[in-house]
Amino acid sequence: NAGVTQTPKFQVLKTGQSMTLQCAQDMNHEYMSWYRQDPGMGLRLIHYSVGAGITDQGEVPNGYNVSRSTTEDFPLRLLSAAPSQTSVYFCASSLSRQGMNTEAFFGQGTRLTVV
Amino acid sequence: ILNVEQSPQSLHVQEGDSTNFTCSFPSSNFYALHWYRWETAKSPEALFVMTLNGDEKKKGRISATLNTKEGYSYLYIKGSQPEDSATYLCAPSRGAGNMLTFGGGTRLMVKP
């Protein structure tokens, strides 16, 4: 039972490079989201999706792009990496139906360093 | 952006002590309140999802209460053990999209 799978676990980028963080879930969850975790700041929402073909911005969306072509996958793209994007990134998924509010399942995280 | 505050930021206790943390959040447009346990080098794991005012949930030695009218939730740990050492996160959600806004967390360290 894989749950939420993130790749890669670690990545070092040079300023200006682009890359995609992958996130896949096998639980048929409608809702998926990306967070970044910085020291002393908790988890902050970057982008989220309530279903295939639907995405929206969270609290800190600048410099990131997302798409949701399938229910299973929700990749996060860094368009032009900056040192301020050095962080640990978590992908999460949950069931999301009207009237229900269910726990989020998190991936194992991607530690990104931009030099 | 919701303002979610957790206190204290960190807490050191001895094994066997009972402890509690607070999560404060805006009471307007409340949908649900989540608690997560986050161990170092691991992913956050859900403890509770609470929706009703006055709700109380329990899992082993950990329990939580919810006051939606005044916008706060308490997490209690009875008889803390070293394996309880972790960061405890709360997050209110808004709407059917389950969009969570996390507090900064309470870091608990339990000394043997």
- pLDDT, tens only, B54-110: 999 999 999 999 999 999 999 999 999 999 999 999 999 876 556 788 999 999 999
Strand partners, A73: A24
CB contacts, 8 Å: B31 with chain A: 101
Q: Taking Cα atoms as reference points, which of B25, B46, B3, B18 lies closest to residue B108? A: B18
What's the pLDDT at B93?
85
Residues of chain A above pLDDT 90, percent: 81
CA count, 13 A, side-chain hemisphere, B8: 9
For an interface test with A, the pick among B100, B101, B106 (most A C-beta atoms closer than 10 Å) comes out as B100
Mean pLDDT of B45-50: 94
| Contact between chains at A96 and B96 (C-beta distance less than 8 A) | yes
B48 min Cα distance to partner chain A (Å):
8
For B89, nearest residue in chain A (alpha carbons): A42
E strand residue ranges, chain B: 5-7, 10-14, 19-24, 32-38, 45-50, 56-59, 62-67, 72-77, 86-94, 99-100, 106-111
Residue B29, sorted as left (phi over 0), alpha (psi -120 to 50) or beta, turns out to be left
CB A59: neighbour CB atoms within 10 A? Answer: 16
**Greatest CA separation for chain B:** 42
pLDDT tens-digit readout, A53-87: 999 999 999 999 999 999 999 999 999 999 999 99
| Contact between chains at B43 and A43 (C-beta distance less than 8 A) | no
- Inter-chain contacts counted by CB atoms under 8 A, chains A and B: 65
At A1, the pLDDT band (50, 70, 90 cuts) reads low
| Contact between chains at B98 and A96 (C-beta distance less than 8 A) | yes
CB contacts, 8 Å: B102 with chain A: 35, 42-44
Residue B48 CA, distance from chain mean position: 8
| Contact between chains at A102 and B97 (C-beta distance less than 8 A) | no
Question: Is the Cβ–Cβ distance between B44 and B36 less than 8 Å?
Answer: yes
